[in-house]
């Protein structure tokens, strides 16, 4: 009987040890689980806060009102001269070619020619109000005003009158439309401070058909505009 009692006591001790060990393991597991849940909860809260911050930043940027200024001749929006169907220039505004834009253009043409691209030294740059009026009138007579308005600016509303816009030509005198040269301009014009002003898919916004030959000098911000995938009106949040 004494031996059996010892066995029962020993067995009971083992059972208690197992139970205690099991409880300790369960408590430890519960502790780790609580920690993990806390970590996940903290990470979720942090992620939600980051998303909220990013969303607020994006909304703030998209809702930012453009800064519009006019010096009596040109309208600048966020520091960029804008001439489109809404913003024009006076009839007597005749600055000629912008010297910085002109230098950048000649470098662009020289580099294109050195690559063997079909680009002419000849181009259409600054146009006076009177010259644009004659062009627009001839297009209206030939195609009607509604169609003319899709590819020709009314006098006083042409970028060419700012001296910052250029129509590039092939060596045969035709406006640049070949895919190779047009794509090169899309890819590299910004390196010289230019954007391709009227692109496919933006007709409803700019009001003009795509013109792969028409480049507009912007300066350093040209690369940001190009990379955004937006036309100038979209980029500046204007009509």
Angle at 233 between CA 139 and CA 215, to 5 degrees: 60
Query: Of 184, 191, 183, which is closest to residue 225 (Cα–Cα)?
Result: 191
On whether the CB atoms of residues 128 and 95 are closer than 8 A, the answer is: no
What number of other Cβ atoms are within 10 A of residue 32's Cβ?
Answer: 10
CA geometry: angle at 234 spanning 182 and 63, to 5°? 155
The full length of the chain comes to 239
Rounded Cα gap, residues 202 and 216, in angstroms: 16
179-188 and 99-114 helices, crossing angle to 10°? 130
Question: In whole angstroms, what is the distance from residue 42 CA to residue 40 CA?
Answer: 5
211 is a catalytic site residue? yes
CB 163 within 8 A of CB 101: yes
> Residue 147, CB half-sphere, CA atoms under 13 Å: how many?
7
Largest alpha-carbon pair distance within the chain?
A: 127
Among candidate residues 97, 159, 181, 211, the one labeled active-site is 211
Active site residues: 211
């Amino acid at each position: 009987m004494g031996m059996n009692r010892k066995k029962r006591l020993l067995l009971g001790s083992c059972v208690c040890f197992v139970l205690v060990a099991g409880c300790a393991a369960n408590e430890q597991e519960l502790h780790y689980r609580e920690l993990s849940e806390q970590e996940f909860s903290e990470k979720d809260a942090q992620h939600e806060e980051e998303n909220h911050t990013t969303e607020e930043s994006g909304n703030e940027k998209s809702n930012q009102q453009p800064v519009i200024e006019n010096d009596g001749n040109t309208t600048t929006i966020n520091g960029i001269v804008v001439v489109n169907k809404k913003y024009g220039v006076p009839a007597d505004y005749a600055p000629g070619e912008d010297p910085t834009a002109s230098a950048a253009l000649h470098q662009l043409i020289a580099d294109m020619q050195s690559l063997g691209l079909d680009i002419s030294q000849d181009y259409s740059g600054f146009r006076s109000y009177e010259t644009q009026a004659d062009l627009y009138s001839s297009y209206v007579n030939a195609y009607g005003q509604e169609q003319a308005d899709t590819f020709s600016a009314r006098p006083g509303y042409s970028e060419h009158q700012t001296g910052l816009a250029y129509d590039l030509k092939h060596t045969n005198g035709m406006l640049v439309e070949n895919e190779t040269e047009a794509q090169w301009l899309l890819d590299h014009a910004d390196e010289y401070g230019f954007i391709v002003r009227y692109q496919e898919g933006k007709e409803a916004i700019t009001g003009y058909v795509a013109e792969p030959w028409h480049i507009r000098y912007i300066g350093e911000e040209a690369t940001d505009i190009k990379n955004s995938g937006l036309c100038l009106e979209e980029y500046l949040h204007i009509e």
